[in-house]
Chain A
């Protein structure tokens, strides 16, 4: 029996993949403060359900820095907008350009958080399963490269500690330091290529590429997947359709203006779609509490 994980991650990989694709599209499509804020909020909660926000906390500083830069820079560069708040030197700073900066920071943050959740849900074996049918080599290369990252980092540390032990790593000038770093890289490349090619020979011996690629993990599309797919297709489809008719947009320039009032059918469908993984995860969470209290 294959462990398919729990909650949202236990769905068929194609469903998860298209869900994330739709989230990314929505993040770029709906430039509306409430839409983006709720999307950001949902992805943060989703991240907390997936790994208690571990990977989110690790990168939060970097992401918030980028968002802050965007918020500060936009009103400085852009003089569009009708409402002038104050003058910086002789440059007008407008309310609209400030709002636009905030909107764009929200878009960036949502995209980055969606990617974090994506990395947690679409694990390398799922990635290989998804893409090995039409791009077997490319998918395989990316999967193997993913595995090489921690391996090579480990080797890099090992080489550096050996170099230090024999008196290396004491370059003074920048040029000397760069040279020493490249020495380390030279060792890494000869070592890793040799061992990688040993692996390739063993792959050849076991018949890699001799037929259609088979997957070690078999995912089947069951009834629950079908149910979830219909739910996601209806809510997501309506949200997308509404997007093309101007719902969920918010005009910033020349002056702030929303085309529709906030609480309309479109916003509700959008909310249902983006909070879908939270439904699934919290259902499992409640279910778990429920059986535990019985025992």
Chain B
């Protein structure tokens, strides 16, 4: 019965969201429109996570990993793109799979912004880091992720993808003055930061991914986190 109510609620939510998006679109409110769509996609990924059977050990471990990912970002706040958060997200996804990777990434983004300052960029970062974890988790047993070079290439590419994705939140906020010139200038201006993010990801993965995978899989076996 409750499950049925939840389903009806979700359908109603979608209809409401669809109606709102039409209004936002026709009136040119692009920032609320984009935030609405992002929050909806986050909700569906969270629902997916809720449905999976997960032990209390896994729940607390996800929180601890997200906490570590978030805290590791704070000392680097003055260097906008150099931080080990992406590394922690990718490595936890490689060991524990896509759902855990997504949760670690999105929770880390949400919680670290409580310290650094919430803004319209928070949902974008939540989705970007969540998707980074999700994709790393889906690829975890592929040949690409087994080799160290492949893993670091993955981190390098995501360094750029993350920047390109979160740039959109900046551009959409300015939509009233949108021009392709503005678009290109933004992406050119962010190139240095994206490169720094990509290089630091690759650097952390090359040096530490094996060690961290070992630490995490050992914990996973010791406390029977997934069975």
The residue on B at minimum CB distance from A246 is: B27
With most chain B CB atoms within 10 A of its CB, the pick from A66, A80, A141, A146 is A141
Q: Is A192 an interface residue (CB 8 A)?
A: yes
Q: Tell me how many residues of B have a C-beta within 8 Å of chain A.
A: 64
Whether B108 lies near A138 (C-beta < 8 A) is: no
A204 to B61, CA, bound (A): 13
Known: A138-B50, A197-B219. A153 touches B71 (CB 8 A): yes
Residues in A neighbouring B32, C-beta threshold 8 A:
25, 28-29
Is A153 within 8 A of B74, CB to CB? yes
Interface string of B190-227 (1 = CB under 8 A from A): 00000000001001100110011001100100110100
Using Cβ atoms and an 8 Å threshold, which residues of chain B touch A97? Answer: 177
Mask: chain A, 89-112; 1 = CB below 8 Å from B; 0 = not: 000000001001000100110011
User: B70 at interface (Cβ–Cβ under 8 A)?
Assistant: yes
What is the minimal beta-carbon distance from A261 to any residue of chain B, in angstroms?
21
Distance in angstroms from A90 CB to nearest chain B CB is 14
Q: Which of A117-156 contact B (CB under 8 A)?
A: 119, 134-138, 140-142, 144-146, 148-149, 151-153, 156
Known: A112-B117, A149-B111. A201 touches B63 (CB 8 A): no
Identify which of B51-59, B139-147, B151-159, B160-168 touches chain A.
B51-59
Number of A residues whose C-beta is below 8 Å from B?
64
| B30 → chain A closest CB, angstroms | 10
B-contact bits for A27-71, CB 8 A (1 contact / 0 none): 011010000000000000000000000000001001100100000
Q: Is A196 on the interface with B (CB-CB < 8 A)?
A: yes
The majority secondary structure among interface residues of chain A is helix
| B residues less than 8 Å from A146 (CB atoms) | 111, 114
Closest to A243 in B: B27
In the complex, per-residue mask of B48-82: 1 if CB is within 8 Å of any chain A CB, else 0: 01100011110111111111101110110000000
List residues 180-231 of chain A with CB under 8 A from any CB of chain B.
181-182, 185-186, 188-190, 192-194, 196-197, 199-201, 203-204, 208-209
A199–B185 CB distance below 8 A? no
Q: From the candidates B56, B67, B120, B185, name the one contacting A108 in the complex (CB within 8 A).
A: B120
From the candidates B23, B71, B117, B120, name the one contacting A59 in the complex (CB within 8 A): B117
